[in-house]
Structure formats: C-alpha cells, structure tokens
C-alpha cells in the first residue's frame, strides 16, 4: 500500500474520512460507486442525463461521508474537478449567494491539495472563448466578467476573486469594464442570489474548456435542510432542483442525507404540500415551484444504503487487521476471520452501525497489542441520528 497505514488507521479511529483513506478502503459500497461511475461515463460521452444527480441516504455512522470521499477519489482519477461541501449555517442551500463562495473554497483540480479554480481559468483562457460563450446566453454581469478576464489586463485578480465568490460590487465591475473596454457597462437589476447560478454555469463551461472531464459536486449533511424554517427549506429545495435541472451539462451532483430526514422532515412537516404552497404564494418565486417539486421527489425516492453483508464486514475487518499490524509493527495472534468473530461477540446484531463495527475492531486490536489478551467490553454506546428540529426563521425570506 502506497499510503501511510497509520494515517488510515487513525482516520478510521476518528471517524473523519479523507480522500486517500477512502481510495484505499471503499467500505463495501461498490454497487453505489458503480452507479456513479456510469453517470460519469455518460457525462464524459457528452450524453444528456435526465437526472444529473445521485441521492443517497443512510443512518448516522453508516459511511455516507466515507462514500463521498471514495467518489471523490474515483472522479479525480478520471480527471474531474471535484467540490465537497457540507451544508451548515455558513453553507446554506437556501442562499446560493452564500453557498457559491463555499463551493469555490472547496473545489479542487485533480492532483491539487489546495482549493481554487485559478488554474482552470488560466487553462481555459488559452483558447478562443468569447464566440462560444455568447451562445451560452449568460447573464450580462457574468458575461462582463468573462469579457474582462479574456482581456487579462486591468482588474484581472479582482475578476478572478469575483469568480471565486468574492463578488465585486457593480461599481467596481463597471470601473474595470470601462478601463479595459473604453465604454460604460450597462447592467440590468439583479441579485447575487440569481447571479450565483449564472456563475455556476460559467464555471461548469470553463472546466470543460480547460480540458477536464467534468465537475463533481458532493453535498454532505443535506439533512440540515431540516434545521431551516419553512421558507428557507422551500428555497433550499428549489435550489437543489435547479442544480438537478440540467442547467450544468458537465456537472454531476451527489447528495448525502440522514435516514431520518424522510420521516422527520418530508413527511413530518408535509413539505411536498407546504413548501410548494409557500413558493407559489410569493410572486416571482412561484416559478421555482417545479424545481422544489423535483428536489423533494428526488429526496423522497432516495434509497437507503444497503447494510453491509456479513462477508463484507469480515473483509473490512481483515483489511483493518492488516493495516493495524503495518501501522504499529506487530503481529496479531489471530486472523481477520477471528477478529470478525470477536467483534460479533460484542455486537451480535446485523444492524450495528458500521462506525461502531470499525471502532470496536480497532479497540479489540489496540487491547490485544498492548496487553496481549482479549478485551472485556460491558457496554456499547449506540449511535443515534441527530434531531432535525427547525432552527431557521422564515421572516428573512418573505
């Protein structure tokens, strides 16, 4: 194994996955990985996807985030630009003007350990862009940004930062435009909430022009939509539906959410009816109802990750045993199959969370390594899904 086995073990112990660890251990999710692989194939072949997304649902501790990082490794190996963001108060799906900068802060080109799309822009600008770009019918603001990036003169760094989510004021953009093109820039009235999707369209196109295979965006902790008030949830669903509408032809989005979202939020709060009604009653927001409906349908139809079969868990524990031995320079007096039996003695039920199985396996190995004898474990703290009670305030969205 080319990577440091101790780093893999410590990553498994902490429950915080990262790309290299996920590349080394897919945790038995080959069926899900294969489904995403087929979607990547279609985008690489310039085939239009009816549904350019993949929604997965699992209980806490069942490996959702680890799977996302495995998909990151898969896409990176195929020359895809990858973004990985976890939804939160600072990264809210209901506000694309707040979400877009977070997306850019967490976007990586293949082989890079630092985020950013400056090199994407530089590579794309090597070609002739403007004629093809005008056919995209981007918004006047975003087209003005591209016009001035192509000139590569006054304000270039400011424009690059703007594309990265540090949005220029209209006054500053007009200043740069006049300096480079010698005429005034006329911009229709718009909000950065609306413009954010136009920026997404431009980045989607630039990624392809720069020679990359596509753009994979991984959204984790999607269940945190449930913490929002009704109005914010409505906007979040609409934004998700917009991203799934095909507006980004070279982009695939993956959405990971907790298992209890379906019952606690979609059904418990009647979001299919309540959120569409909220949008429908708010003027121009009514045009977002179809996106809201599409997103709720996608979340409603998401399939639970299959629990790992006994032989898959045994295979995982065999890998963990080998990694533990390599990491700490010792040799266990039993096989991976024996470790599986020891884990099952303390956690006999098939529905024991995957994270519990992993940590239990590591604890058993730690004790054997330190004391040379089998552990005695009296109590296992069960993992539970987080409550999804509302924390948001609709007032800011009315």
Report pLDDT for 281: 96
Residue positions counted in the chain: 398
- 75-84, 128-137, 150-159: least confident range: 128-137
Q: Which residues contact 74 (CB under 8 A, 6 or more apart)?
A: 33, 36, 37, 40
CA distances from 83 to 6, 275, 283 (A): 26, 28, 33
For residue range 159-211, list pLDDT tens digits in order.
999 999 999 999 999 999 999 999 999 999 999 999 999 999 999 999 999 99
Nearest-angstrom CA–CA distance, 137 and 290: 22
What mean pLDDT comes out for the span 142-151?
Answer: 96
In this model, does residue 396 exceed pLDDT 70?
no
> Does residue 280 have a pLDDT over 50?
yes
> Does the pLDDT at position 129 exceed 90?
no
* Burial bucket for residue 116 (CB in 10 Å: 0-12, 13-18, 19+): middle
Q: Write down the mean pLDDT value for the chain.
A: 90
Q: What's the confidence (pLDDT) of residue 301?
A: 93
- CATH domain 29-110+212-304 topology: Rossmann fold (3.40.50)
Q: pLDDT at residue 325 above 70? A: yes
Has residue 226 got a pLDDT over 80?
Answer: yes
Rounded average pLDDT over 137-166? 96
- Answer for the pair 65, 87: CB distance below 8 angstroms, yes or no: no
Residue 7: pLDDT band (50, 70, 90) is confident
Mean pLDDT value across residues 108-133? 93
Phi/psi of residue 387, each to 5°?
A: -70, 145
- Whether residue 393 is predicted with pLDDT greater than 50 in this model: the reply is no
- Looking at the whole model, is its pTM more than 0.85? yes
pLDDT at 386: 65
- Which tops the pLDDT comparison, 263 or 386? 263
Evaluate if residue 388 carries a pLDDT over 80: no
398 pLDDT exceeds 50? no
Q: Which residues of 317-338 are buried (b: 16+ CB within 10 A; e: fewer)?
A: bebbbebbbebeeeebeeebee
Q: Where are the domains of the chain?
A: 29-110+212-304, 310-371
Q: Are the C-beta atoms of residues 256 and 301 closer than 8 Å to each other?
A: no
pLDDT score recorded for residue 1: 42
Tell whether the torsion through CA atoms of 361, 364, 367 and 369 is positive or negative. negative
The sign of the torsion formed by the CA atoms of 196, 202, 203, 205 equals positive
């Amino acid at each position: 194994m080319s990577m440091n086995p101790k780093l893999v073990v410590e990553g498994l112990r902490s429950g915080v996955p990262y790309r290299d660890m996920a590349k080394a251990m897919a945790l038995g999710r080959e069926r899900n990985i294969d489904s995403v692989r087929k979607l990547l194939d279609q985008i690489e072949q310039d085939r239009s996807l009816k549904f350019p997304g993949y929604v997965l649902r699992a209980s806490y501790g069942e490996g959702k985030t680890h799977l996302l990082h495995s998909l990151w490794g898969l896409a990176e190996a195929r020359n895809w630009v990858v973004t990985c963001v976890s939804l939160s108060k600072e990264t809210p799906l209901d506000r694309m003007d707040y979400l877009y900068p977070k997306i850019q802060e967490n976007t990586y080109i293949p082989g890079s350990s630092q985020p950013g799309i400056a090199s994407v822009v530089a590579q794309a600008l090597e070609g002739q862009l403007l004629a093809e770009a005008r056919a995209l019918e981007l918004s006047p603001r975003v087209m003005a940004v591209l016009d001035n990036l192509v000139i590569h003169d006054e304000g270039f760094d400011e424009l690059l930062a703007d594309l990265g989510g540090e949005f220029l004021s209209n006054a500053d953009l007009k200043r740069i435009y006049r300096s480079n093109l010698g005429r005034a820039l006329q911009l229709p009235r718009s909000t950065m909430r609306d413009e954010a999707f136009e920026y997404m369209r431009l980045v989607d196109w630039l990624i392809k022009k720069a020679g990359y295979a596509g753009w994979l965006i991984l959204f984790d902790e999607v269940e945190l939509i449930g913490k929002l008030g009704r109005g914010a949830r409505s906007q979040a669903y609409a934004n998700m539906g917009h991203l799934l509408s095909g507006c980004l032809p070279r982009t695939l989005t993956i959405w990971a959410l907790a298992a209890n979202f379906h019952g606690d939020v979609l059904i418990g709060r009647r979001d299919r009816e309540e959120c569409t009604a909220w949008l429908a009653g708010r003027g121009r927001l009514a045009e977002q109802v179809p996106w809201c409906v599409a997103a709720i349908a996608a979340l409603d139809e998401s399939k639970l990750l299959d629990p790992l079969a006994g032989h898959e868990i045994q295979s995982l524990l065999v890998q963990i045993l080998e990694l533990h031995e390599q990491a700490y320079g010792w040799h266990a007096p039993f096989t991976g199959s024996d470790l599986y039996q020891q884990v099952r003695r303390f956690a006999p039920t098939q529905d024991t969370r995957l994270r519990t199985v992993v940590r239990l396996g590591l604890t058993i190995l730690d004790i054997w390594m330190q004391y040379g004898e089998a552990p005695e474990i009296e109590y296992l703290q069960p993992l539970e899904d987080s409550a999804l009670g509302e924390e948001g305030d609709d007032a800011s969205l009315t």
